């Protein structure tokens, strides 16, 4: 279905536990919240907003706390999944609705999963992009991440843990760093499938960007798109975004009462065959019959990288619209 060009984007801010959340919405009908990941913004859903509006939904893309025009609370504890789930509930209420469908990508997938798990009466269905659902539990996350990588190497999540360290690398050249990070995870600019992927580790004493693809830009990342993202982070800095990584051990503690819990609402998964998230977490995908018992479908897009809704927007739009149509009639 063709997007309706006459349905304009509407920007607004709403009150939430974070303080202020910036939203961009398009269309009318059942509410669909779109939750981005790192390092992105509401703009990551620029292709989905008009498509879902044309399909008869009220599509709302959120700037997660710490991003864009949303508030940036101080301290890593303010970026726990419990708090981000409460932000999503506040958005639903501020928009005058009782329930919503959630669609999350990357960290947004984890935020959407936690929101659906903690507030099943509010979030009636959940679509997860790139990062599959894994129930709370297992070893402490930072203990796991510290064991990833070879001798003299440090996994990127561990690298992000120390306040100020990654900021010192990124903020002198935000645009260049973002371009390299996006390229490292895009299918057309990452290493060939049979080559080792070094882009998620830093050598001891080195920087993460030292292993980014050199002078390589994925097809989806035009100058206009990169300029938008760069302007956002040049204005806000990266600390709010990076604090999500620094809260993972608190999540592990907070969600302990939900260890092993499935998400029982209708669900959908879309990932890429060339995304490290779907290979590292292949066991989580295999466990979907238990962890997502109401899963409608799991789609792995052949030759697609991590940024599925930007690398493959038309395919992603079709899969989302088809799935949403099975949940509830739209307003079209």
Q: So which residues are the catalytic ones? A: 106, 306
Tokens of 255: 């969600």
Collect all residues with Cβ–Cβ distance below 8 Å to 317 and sequence separation of at least 6: 47, 48, 51, 52
Nearest-angstrom CA–CA distance, 65 and 325 = 30
Nearest-angstrom CA–CA distance, 292 and 148 = 27
CB 329 within 8 A of CB 26: no
Nearest-angstrom CA–CA distance, 100 and 103 = 10
Task: Give the long-range contacts of residues 151-156, CB within 8 A, separation 24 or more.
Answer: 152/203, 152/204, 153/201, 153/202, 153/203, 153/204, 154/201, 154/202, 154/203, 154/204, 155/200, 155/201, 156/200, 156/201, 156/202, 156/208
The secondary element (H helix, E strand) that includes residue 129 is strand 123-129
């Amino acid at each position: 279905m063709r997007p309706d060009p006459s349905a304009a984007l509407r920007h607004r801010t709403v009150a939430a536990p974070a303080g202020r959340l910036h939203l961009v919405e398009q269309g009318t009908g059942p509410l669909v919240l779109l939750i981005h990941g790192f390092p992105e913004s509401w703009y990551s859903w620029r292709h989905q907003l008009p498509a879902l509006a044309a399909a008869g939904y009220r599509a709302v893309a959120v700037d997660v706390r710490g991003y864009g025009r949303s508030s940036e609370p101080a301290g890593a504890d303010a970026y726990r999944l419990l708090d981000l789930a409460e932000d999503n509930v506040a958005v639903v209420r501020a928009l005058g609705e009782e329930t919503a469908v959630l669609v999350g990508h990357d960290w947004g997938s984890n935020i959407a999963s936690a929101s659906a798990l903690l507030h099943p009466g509010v979030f009636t269905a959940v679509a997860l992009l790139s990062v599959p659902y894994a129930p709370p539990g297992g070893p402490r996350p930072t203990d796991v991440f510290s064991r990833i990588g070879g001798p003299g190497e440090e996994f990127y999540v561990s690298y992000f843990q120390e306040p100020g360290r990654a900021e010192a690398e990124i903020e002198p050249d935000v645009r260049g760093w973002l371009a390299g990070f996006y390229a490292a995870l895009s299918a057309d600019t990452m290493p060939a499938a049979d080559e080792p992927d070094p882009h998620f580790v830093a050598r001891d004493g080195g920087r993460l960007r030292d292993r980014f693809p050199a002078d390589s830009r994925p097809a989806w990342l035009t100058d206009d798109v990169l300029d938008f993202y760069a302007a956002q982070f040049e204005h806000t800095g990266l600390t709010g975004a990076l604090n999500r990584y620094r809260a993972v051990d608190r999540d592990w503690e907070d969600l302990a009462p939900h260890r092993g819990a499935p998400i029982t609402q209708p669900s959908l998964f879309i990932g890429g065959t060339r995304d490290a998230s779907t290979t590292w977490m292949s066991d989580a995908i295999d466990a979907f019959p238990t962890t997502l018992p109401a899963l409608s479908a799991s789609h792995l897009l052949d030759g697609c990288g991590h940024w599925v809704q930007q690398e493959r927007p038309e395919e992603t739009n079709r899969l989302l619209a088809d799935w949403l149509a099975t949940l509830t009639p739209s307003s079209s």
